[in-house]
């Protein structure tokens, strides 16, 4: 009977928004307090597909942009246009374009440092911050690429990505293979730290399995392939090529704490946690409400465990009032 039917999920709509100097593609759903959902690498707005509708149904305006250089958003040509100041500036510009003075910002993978630093730089605009996969750590005492090379070697994927054009060409050669390998290779079933063999590429370190894990469908893979069909990977990789520049630019924030309500969520099998440990996170986030580690979950936490991630988000949002 019609009265017994479950309510339909709120619709997700798409539009282009002028956010400062960028023409930014956003996916959005719902009305209410603003929650910004920032994706990581190599992802797009689509990584938040489960949370967009769930947050909207709970009374929030959920907005997931394609970030600078990604997919349907503007991609400046200069590597220097992808610093942490550009990326956090984009978040504030998006809030302005949406007409909101304040927001909760959540970020996964690379989106997490953007979320953390937006809260650090503009606490007046951020009601709460949620990081997924990448814990917050204040600026260190030495440039990060040299530190990573010393501890992980030249094959560590972040070091490998510093070479202009190399990973760009490899990842663009067969995008379907790329997404199958990266999404499956870092999931809870097969998670491994990406170490590129000498003279080879990232996809030699992360191989696509014969079958997709249960959380990932052929439709999901094709959605990412379609998103990257025109824009490619250079814009996203330019984020990595600024990490030493970011270290130089943020000298004034050495040892700085983030003093807004915070939540951290990750899979306990995420290889990212072998590089950046969540231990002692409350030291740097004095208003941390809790850390959620999901057993058996890998890097793609909001896609691998959508129900548990959404529940943690909603609990945190409700406590903010």
For 247, how many CA atoms within 13 A lie in the half-sphere containing its CB?
14
Alpha-carbon dihedral 100, 106, 109, 113, rounded to 10 degrees:
60
**Dist CA 193 CA 220 (whole Å):** 23
Could you report the per-residue pLDDT of 94-103, keeping only the tens digit for each? 999 999 999 9
Task: Yes or no: say if 177 and 207 are a contact pair by the CB < 8 Å rule.
Answer: no
Report, as an integer, the average pLDDT of 161-184: 96
Q: Which of 66, 90, 109, 168 is catalytic?
A: 109
**Superfamily of the domain at 12-320:** Alpha/Beta hydrolase fold, catalytic domain (3.40.50.1820)
Q: For position 228, what pLDDT does the model report?
A: 97
pLDDT, position 7 = 64
Which is nearest to 66 in space by CA: 230, 305, 216? 230
What's the residue count for the chain? Answer: 321
Which tokens hold the place of 112?
């997490």
> Could you tell me the residue ranges of all domains in the chain?
12-320
Residue 4: which pLDDT band, with cuts at 50, 70 and 90?
A: low
Catalytic residue among 25, 61, 117, 299: 299
Model pTM?
Answer: 0.95
pLDDT band at 1 (very low <50, low <70, confident <90, very high): very low
- Closest of 33, 31, 36, 103 to residue 64, by C-alpha: 36
Supply the pLDDT for residue 224. 98
Told to judge if 109 belongs to the known catalytic residues of this protein, a careful annotator would answer yes
Q: How many alpha carbons lie under 13 Å from residue 90 in its C-beta half-sphere?
A: 30
Q: How confident is the model at residue 216 (pLDDT cuts 50, 70, 90)?
A: very high
Verify whether residue 270 is a known catalytic residue.
Answer: no
Q: Are 97 and 34 in contact (CB under 8 A)?
A: no
């Amino acid at each position: 009977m019609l009265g017994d039917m479950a309510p339909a999920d709120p619709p997700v709509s798409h539009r282009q928004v002028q956010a400062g100097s960028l023409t930014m593609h956003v996916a959005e759903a719902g009305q209410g307090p603003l929650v910004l959902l920032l994706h990581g690498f190599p992802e797009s707005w689509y990584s938040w597909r489960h949370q967009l509708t769930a947050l909207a149904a709970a009374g929030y305006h959920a907005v997931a942009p394609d970030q600078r250089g990604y997919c349907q958003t503007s991609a400046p040509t200069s590597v220097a246009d992808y610093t942490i100041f550009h990326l956090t500036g984009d978040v504030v510009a998006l809030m302005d374009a949406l007409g909101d003075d304040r927001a909760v910002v959540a970020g996964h993978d690379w989106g997490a440092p953007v979320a953390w630093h937006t809260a650090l730089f503009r606490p007046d605009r951020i009601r709460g911050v949620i990081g997924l996969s990448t814990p917050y750590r204040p600026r260190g005492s030495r440039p990060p690429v040299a530190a990573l090379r010393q501890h992980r070697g030249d094959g560590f994927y972040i070091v490998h990505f510093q070479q202009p054009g190399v990973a760009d060409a490899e990842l663009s050669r067969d995008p379907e293979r790329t997404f199958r390998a990266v999404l499956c290779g870092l999931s809870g079933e097969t998670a491994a730290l990406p170490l590129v063999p000498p003279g080879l590429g990232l996809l030699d370190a992360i191989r696509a399995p014969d079958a997709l894990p249960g959380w990932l469908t052929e439709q999901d893979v094709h959605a990412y392939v379609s998103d990257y069909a025109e824009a490619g990977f250079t814009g996203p990789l330019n984020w990595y090529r600024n990490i030493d520049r970011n270290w130089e630019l943020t000298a004034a924030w050495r040892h700085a704490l983030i003093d807004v309500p915070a939540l951290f969520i990750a899979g306990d099998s995420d290889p990212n946690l072998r590089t950046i440990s969540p231990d002692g996170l409350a030291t740097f986030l004095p208003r941390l409400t809790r850390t959620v580690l999901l057993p058996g979950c890998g890097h793609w936490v909001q896609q691998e465990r959508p129900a548990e991630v959404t529940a943690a988000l909603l609990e945190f949002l409700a406590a903010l009032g």
